[in-house]
């Protein structure tokens, strides 16, 4: 009789060897069969300014007090386009302002105004050629099913 309590076969069985079966070494592919490491085609990054109301891309990072959004015609020099705008802060501004500005989307002359920019990936095509995207939606749909 065995000194073990249970009769199931397990890792302590004496007829099993403690070594794993060795696998056959895999053949390495020859240098001619692969091209080597592939070049990563990561997009670059750019600093952009977007309208706080409609999200339109503003081409000029320097805005004047009279600047308007080209898409929605909203004022760009407003609290919502400021880097210091924070809804959880006192008077919704991270700077020590003395008086609350009630309308955050209209033009103001705040001395703490700093343009809010963000860093985004460059996802637009840089030129034409074979990879150019069609502008017309119908031609884009037709290009999906070309052979």
pLDDT tens sequence for the chain (147 residues)? 556 676 677 766 666 555 555 666 666 655 555 566 766 677 788 888 888 888 888 887 788 888 888 889 888 888 888 998 988 888 989 998 888 888 888 888 888 888 888 888 877 654 444 455 557 888 888 888 876
Please indicate, yes or no, if residue 143 is contained in any of the structural domains. Answer: no
Alpha-carbon distance of 55 to 83, in angstroms, equals: 15
Please indicate, yes or no, if residue 26 is contained in any of the structural domains. Answer: no
Please indicate, yes or no, if residue 33 is contained in any of the structural domains. Answer: no
Please indicate, yes or no, if residue 140 is contained in any of the structural domains. Answer: no
Give residue 117's domain range: 44-121
**Residue linked to tokens 């031609």:** 139
Alpha-carbon distance of 147 to 76, in angstroms, equals: 47
Alpha-carbon distance of 51 to 57, in angstroms, equals: 7
Please indicate, yes or no, if residue 11 is contained in any of the structural domains. Answer: no
Alpha-carbon distance of 96 to 88, in angstroms, equals: 14
Give the rounded distance of the alpha carbon of 146 from its chain centre.
31
DSSP H helices, 1-147, are 137-144
Please list, residue by residue across 81-98, b when 16 or more beta carbons sit within 10 angstroms of its beta carbon and e when fewer do: bbebbeeeeeebbebebe
Please indicate, yes or no, if residue 76 is contained in any of the structural domains. Answer: yes
**Structural domains counted in the chain:** 1
Please indicate, yes or no, if residue 73 is contained in any of the structural domains. Answer: yes
Alpha-carbon distance of 57 to 49, in angstroms, equals: 6
**Residue linked to tokens 């802060």:** 89
Beta bridge partners of 46: 120
Please indicate, yes or no, if residue 88 is contained in any of the structural domains. Answer: yes
What is the value of pTM for the model shown? 0.50
């Amino acid at each position: 009789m065995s000194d073990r309590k249970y009769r199931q076969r397990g890792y302590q069985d004496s007829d099993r060897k403690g070594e794993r079966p060795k696998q056959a070494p895999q053949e390495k592919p020859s240098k001619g069969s692969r091209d080597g490491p592939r070049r990563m085609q990561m997009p670059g990054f750019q600093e952009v300014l977007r309208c706080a109301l409609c999200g339109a891309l503003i081409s000029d990072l320097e805005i004047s007090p009279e600047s308007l959004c080209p898409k929605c015609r909203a004022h760009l020099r407003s609290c919502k386009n400021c880097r210091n705008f924070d809804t959880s802060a006192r008077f919704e501004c991270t700077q020590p302002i003395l008086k609350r500005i009630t309308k955050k989307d209209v033009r103001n002359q705040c001395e703490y105004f700093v343009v809010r920019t963000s860093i985004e990936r460059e996802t637009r095509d840089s030129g034409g050629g074979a990879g150019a995207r069609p502008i017309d939606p119908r031609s884009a749909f037709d290009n999906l099913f070309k052979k």
